[in-house]
Structure 1
């Protein structure tokens, strides 16, 4: 189900709770909402659709991915970026890393490790900021 985009900064500033198996429906809604906004959006966190769980969805070079409970284990090559967000007006500067090694769970809550680089790494960092209640 395509959900409305949350713009409540008080809600968006809350740190997200760990995702569980019963959050699969919220992940499906998140992915459907992202796809519906794909012309102007490359990633979303669950709190952007009003669900306070550690779930992110993003376009990974033309293939959409959903990560449950993502955690950055390693990062390298810092740089400054300017980013926009569907939940907030305007753009903001952010420190990002060109490469991030991420531990996450798939839709079966199986733990996986993957290194992301370039734009995919930047998107993941932005969405993980949402999970931490950091408004970008």
Structure 2
């Protein structure tokens, strides 16, 4: 189900709790909401649809890829950039890393460890910040 975008700062600033298999509907809803906003959004976290679980979804080419309980395990090459967010108005300055390694579960609850760079790494960092209650 496609959800409206949460703009309540109080909810967005709460640290998300780990997801489990009972949150499978949230994984699907988040992916569908991201796909519905693909023209204006590269990634979303579950708290952006009002659900306080550690789930993100990102656009990778034509695919919307959900990541459950993502954790950054390595960061390299910090830089300064500007970002926007569907839950907030305007652009803000933030620091990101050009290369990251993360562990996460996919929608079949299989564990992955993967490296990401550049734009994809930036989007993942933004969404993991959402999971940690950090806003740009």
TM-score range with shorter-chain normalisation? Answer: over 0.9
After the TM superposition, which residues 1-136 of structure 1 pair with which residues of structure 2 at under 5 Å, given as runs? 1-136=1-136
| RMSD of aligned Cα (Å) | 0.8
2:18, 2:53 within 8 Å by CA — same for their partners in 1?
yes
1:13, 1:135 within 8 Å by CA — same for their partners in 2?
yes
Unaligned runs of 5+ in 2: none
> 1:60: Cα distance to partner?
1.6
1:4-43: CA deviation from partner (whole Å, max 9, x where unpaired)? 1000000000000001001110111101111111111000
Detail structure 1 runs of 4+ shifted over 4 Å in the superposition: none
> TM-score by structure 2 length?
0.97
1:31-63: CA deviation from partner (whole Å, max 9, x where unpaired)? 111111111100000000000000000112332
- The answer to which of 3-12 and 107-116 deviates more is 107-116
Unaligned runs of 5+ in 1: none
Q: Tell me the number of residue pairs that the alignment of Structure 1 and Structure 2 aligns.
A: 136
Q: Could you tell me how far apart the structure 2 residues matched to 1:22 and 1:76 are?
A: 34
Q: Could you tell me how far apart the structure 2 residues matched to 1:119 and 1:26 are?
A: 25
